Homo-oligomer: A and B are copies of this chain.
Amino acid sequence: MAGAFKGCQKIRGPQLRNLLEAKDFILLDCDGVLWHGEKAVTGAATVVNSLIRNGKHVVFVTNNCTRPREKYVHKFSRLGFTDVMLEQIFSSSYCSALYLRDVVKISGQVFVMGCEALRSELQEAGVSCVEEAEDPDATIYNCPLAPDVKAVLVGHDDKMTFLKLAKASCYLRDPDCLFLATDIDPWHPLSGGRILPGSGSLTAALEVSSGRKATVIGKPSRFMFECISSQFEGVDPAKCLMIGDRLETDMLFGANCRLDTMLTLTGVSQTKDAEEYRDSELTTNHSFVPDYIVDSIADFLPAFEEQDEQSN
């Protein structure tokens, strides 16, 4: 990787094996890397199970905040990732709960513009959330507002309404009320060419209506890496590899945390997107460039097969 064309190295075979040998921690995004919805990427489960059995620390770093970590364990298991444990899963909802409890040591309640899973992740951590009464006649003109809201947390919320947005905007009038976002993913692909607006879309709405900027917990913010470092001993960024499918979140996250980065082409971003960033004259764009590119996480398979043969 020299000078002008740093990054985007297509890697496979012995090079890939050497890279893996140099790393202790493998950080993996989930959607678009390991699975699409309920369908595992072919070979992904074998790769993850092999990494774990070969003694690597494998952790999952996901901005998906719609599922409590227990449900992630079930999903991993259901899709054939049989060796994954709760402690390996770092979702933006779990990390948001840690942030509120351990970093800002919140007193008072949190107003959540997000789904039920996000609320239950907070409650599990002992962080109290405003209970929302479902009153179809309530409007921002007449609804009650809780007196002790000390943070507004925005995540993916497929039950988002104008009233929730308006309430959140009102709470944020208080400069002592924190403004957090689980992540700022703009949208997620669905089947049939449809898309799902992401937390970043709702965060943008609230940023405009409140005139404030959110503190982002998920990728590309460094905070999730700090959570990982606090839960495992001896995490050395130089010995970590971040693997993801989205340049603007996964690769930037890796760059922000000084990790080597790898793009898999089974998700949102493609090689030409990465090369455009690489060849851009805007240096800030270079943080989106992966060090390495693989077609799929399944490209790791030969590395293990040879390894397994050698060890037999």
Contacts and interface: CB of A to CB of B under 8 A. Distances in A.
Interface of A: 139-141, 145, 157-163, 165-166, 169-170, 173, 186-187, 190, 193-198, 200-211
A206 B201 contact: yes
A197 B173 contact: no
A13 to B, nearest CB: 36
B211 A205 contact: no
Contacts of A208: 186-187, 197-198, 200-201, 203-204
A104 B194 CA distance: 26
A312 to B, nearest CB: 46
A183 to B, nearest CB: 12
A165 B160 contact: yes
A162 B157 contact: yes
A165 B197 contact: yes
A137 to B, nearest CB: 13
Contacts of A196: 140, 166, 169
Question: How many copies of this chain does the complex contain?
Answer: 2
Contacts of A198: 208-209
A201 B209 contact: yes
B195 A166 contact: yes
Residue from A166, A197, A203, A206 with most neighbouring chain B CB atoms (10 Å): A197
A208 B166 CA distance: 19
A207 B204 contact: yes
Given A186-B208, A204-B204, A205-B204, A162 B193 contact: no
A310 B172 CA distance: 53
A195 B207 contact: no
B197 A209 contact: yes
Contact of A162 (B141, B158, B170, B209): B158
Contacts of A160: 161-162, 165
A169 B197 contact: yes
A173 B196 CA distance: 12
Contacts of A170: 193-195
Given A157-B162, A161-B161, A209 B190 contact: no
Contacts of A206: 197, 201
A190 B186 CA distance: 30
29 contacts: A140-B190, A140-B196, A141-B194, A157-B162, A159-B162, A160-B161, A161-B161, A161-B162, A162-B197, A165-B197, A165-B201, A166-B194, A166-B196, A169-B187, A169-B196, A170-B193, A186-B209, A187-B208, A187-B211, A197-B206, A197-B208, A198-B209, A200-B208, A201-B205, A202-B205, A203-B208, A204-B207, A204-B208, A205-B205
